[in-house]
Chains A and B, each alone.
Chain A
């Protein structure tokens, strides 16, 4: 018994206290909102609790994996991910007009999920390997590593995921020191190519952008979600209507209200004060992550910590922006708030990596 408890204490000592508290706070809020949004549906609540338990377990495990071991997992995962993406392109299942799912017989999943972690891991591993001799060509290789899965996912088509993956790859290149002139040059080029991109977009994607610009143009169709969620948020006011008191939420006006649109429920029931606190929690996590990045002993650790932190906030921004009507509806869940096992596990896996970086301070032995 003493040995077991000692082992447990050692395992738990790799958790970052501050991050843990922040994550648990967010999960607590998430539980409260899902209880309300699901109409106290026991299956939803217990499912959410199980997902949280699993994800927290994954986080504890990841926190104990030293970064140098982690960095080696990246390339094979990346390779596997890209192979699977090609598999999807060839044999994938079509759902809702796009080819995203791979049916493995017993389960089906989206390989793009795998790459959300594999891409930064691989890029960080790659830059770590070439740390001493970093040159322009390494950024070029990094760019290619980023573009391959990006384009594969884009042609599924899954614009949202592709952009999110692109953002995480870009963050990593940015923190690795991608020259400013390349960034600005790319920015100008990107802006110039917007019309081309627009013409390459699928009808439904164009429609989404258009209804975003004017949701009232299609109040019964694509604009309905945005209209209803902005009504929910706006009607919440400063202090909200109170937990389980949101009329928009409780009377089914908000679609997908335990998953993608959970922020609308939160905004309606907890008001602007709640929104400030929620965004404050995300900012605190980002701040902690950036501190961890600043203190990390290895380039791999620094790049991973900084990228994961910014990535988390990007997800939150895209989701809240979409639900409150300033970004297109792209189907991104709200990190640590939305109901859904895969996303929660992926996120806490990232938190585990952050904690691992924070608590494994010695230089690699390699």
Chain B
């Protein structure tokens, strides 16, 4: 190959290379354009979208739970309050091996079997990434031990939390109720009510009692801290803050001292008691025996304790004052006497001769009086003071079940009283119509007879009896009982009176009411059925005893208390108000299997009256119930 051809070749090669360089440059320009176009799209066209996403990346709303309102009694004694304590909490998703971690924690600090059971129950109800408490109220030493071993315990945290404390003891459990951890059912309900946002930072919610019915006031409004967070979710700094609004404090009509007196007066008996202010409808005491410790429920109850409470034959979880339904027995008599007068069926002076039994025409069945041989000549006043059954058998028959139903309905029997607590029972006020609807059966005349002494289908709650008695005391004003008297914003420190319940005036002829009241006063006077319970009282009482059969007694057989097992003994009832000239307190008591109203129920009411009207404590009771003033 000649040098010339070689050079010529080289020139051609060079020209081709330069051509290829241009192609290369064009290729690079193309790639650069693609990048610039992408940059333009992201940074100019879609900028708003991405700036928003970057913002939502970096900021998070951290809820700040409000502190729950306090509950105080009428004398500002604290019944429910909050305290801050350290809890040991565990997040399953963050642990390497849950069992190993639990075992390790168990070697460091004491975990009781009950705490472990409770933990496992809560764990089974929670999501894997939810934090579940293992032990609350850690001591300072325990906090230090856990802190020192934190590196070995992934997923274990010590947190300062607000807890609810009920220091008033088991006697107040049915009034206050309790808060518990928010469960799936609560969450669902909150979602339905649109209140979910307000519970973002809350672990607890009112489950029963006042804690439940006043939840919206007690809870307060959740605040939110706008935080800047990094990719791992750790807060870097606070950007802005909406402070939480603490829940409202509640002041009750209820007197914690009176409640304690009533509670103690029951002794070993079970039952319910309601004390009302007949003028305002304020609930002065509301007792259900037995009580329970509401503190057990605050951070989750362990399954065995729950089982024991739930399956106990004494049924401590049932609020007997609200939900316990009992035949009113003879306590219905003053109302029926009033019905007889108002309906024009009786005049005060009308009297009967009581042979000790009553029979319907064309029937040989004998409805017996509680007193063998009868009470002799009985007028209306005496029918109350002696609790003459035959008088009311006859009256009931003359009145008929439907008029009885309509009249008693005016006093709130058979319907809820409207108290500011949930779960109230409406009892049962029978009528022909009711029986037809409920049982598809016609009414028998005999059923009317026993309805006259508050037996048969009649069922009332202690609360209903208290409201009806209050109407006798206040001249016929039907009141809606209220536990809460006033509400306070914890910042403002001023009590705002809470609106009372509805008041309905039932028209009663004053002379008729006076006769019935006299009869009820006679009950407490020498010769009356409950005279012993009123002995020595420096004020006057009007009352009525009652007993409600638990087991039927055969025709011709006798009720012999000593021969019956305790759970078959009659329920003892007593209703009363005092002082008679200007009543300030009404009491209705039911003592389950108490035997007789005068023997067990009336003395309990007496102790309540004594304390409320004179400040006198029962002899066996110490002056202070252990509650502190605010």
Q: List 18 A-B contacts (CB under 8 A).
A: A171-B24, A231-B54, A234-B47, A234-B50, A235-B47, A237-B43, A247-B54, A247-B55, A251-B58, A282-B32, A286-B25, A286-B28, A290-B24, A309-B24, A310-B27, A310-B28, A325-B38, A325-B42
From residue B67, how far is it (CB to closest CB) to chain A in Å?
32
Q: Nearest CB to that of B35 among chain A residues?
A: A320
Q: How far is the CA of A177 from the CA of B28 in the complex (A)?
A: 18
User: Considering only CB atoms, which chain B residue lies closest to A236 in the complex?
Assistant: B43
Q: Is A317 an interface residue (CB 8 A)?
A: yes
- Chain B residues proximal to chain A, CB less than 8 Å: 1, 6, 9, 13, 16-18, 20-21, 23-25, 27-29, 31-32, 34-36, 38-40, 42-44, 46-47, 49-51, 53-55, 57-58, 228-232, 236
Contact across chains for B39 and A251 when beta carbons are under 8 A apart: no
- A107-115, A147-155, A267-275: which lies at the interface: A267-275
Is there a chain B Cβ closer than 8 Å to A182's Cβ? Answer: no
User: Which of chain B's residues have a CB closer than 8 A to the CB of A132?
Assistant: 1, 6, 9
* Closest Cβ–Cβ distance, residue B47 to chain A (whole Å): 5
Check if A279 is an interface residue, CB within 8 A of chain B.
yes
- Distance in angstroms between the alpha carbons of A32 and B122 in the assembled complex: 52
Min CB distance B233 to A, Å, is 10
Known contacts A237-B47, A272-B40, A290-B25, A279 near B58 by CB under 8 Å: no
Known contacts being A132-B9, A247-B57, A251-B229, is A326 close to B20, with CB within 8 Å?
no
Cα-based distance from A171 to B39 in the complex (angstroms):
26
> With A and B bound together, what is the CA distance between A324 and B46 in angstroms?
13
Q: Once the chains bind, are B47 and A247 in contact (CB under 8 Å)?
A: no
Main secondary structure of the interface of B (DSSP, over half): helix
Q: Are A317 and B31 in contact (CB under 8 A)?
A: yes
Contacts of A293 in B (CB 8 A): 21
A321 near B38: Cβ-Cβ < 8 Å: yes
Q: Please, how many angstroms separate the alpha-carbon atoms of A321 and B53 in the complex?
A: 21
* Residue A232 is within 8 A (CB to CB) of chain B in the complex: yes
In the complex, the answer to whether B236 meets A251 with C-beta atoms within 8 Å is yes
Q: Does A30 contact B (CB under 8 A)?
A: no
What residue of chain B has the Cβ atom nearest to residue A318's Cβ? B31
List the B residue with the shortest CB-CB distance to A271.
B43
- A147–B290 Cα gap in the complex (Å)? 90
Question: Which positions 140-181 of chain A face chain B at CB distance < 8 Å?
Answer: 171, 174-175, 177
Question: Which bracket fits the contact residues of A?
Answer: 35 or more
Of A235, A271, A324, which contacts B38 at CB under 8 A?
Answer: A324
CB of A171 to closest CB in B, whole Å: 7
A272 with B43: CB separation less than 8 A: yes
Interface residues of A in 214-237 (CB under 8 A from B): 228, 230-237
Residues of B within 8 A of A326 (CB): 34, 38
Having A267-B39, A290-B21, one finds 6 other A-B pairs with CB under 8 Å, namely A132-B6, A175-B20, A175-B24, A272-B44, A276-B36, A283-B28
**Which residues of chain A come closer than 8 Å to B17, judged between CB atoms?**
175, 177, 294, 302, 306
Top 7 nearest A-B pairs (CB, nearest first) are A234-B50, A235-B54, A252-B231, A234-B42, A272-B43, A251-B230, A235-B50
In whole angstroms, what is the CA distance A238 to B46 when docked?
Answer: 11
Contact, CB under 8 Å: A237 / B20: no
Q: A225 to nearest B CB, angstroms?
A: 12
A313 & B51 in contact (Cβ 8 Å cutoff): no
A287 at the interface (CB under 8 A from B): yes
Asked if A235 meets B51 with Cβ closer than 8 Å, knowing A267-B39, A286-B28, the reply is yes
A286 to B24, CA, bound (A): 10
In the assembled complex, the Cα of A275 lies from the Cα of B40 at a distance in Å of: 9
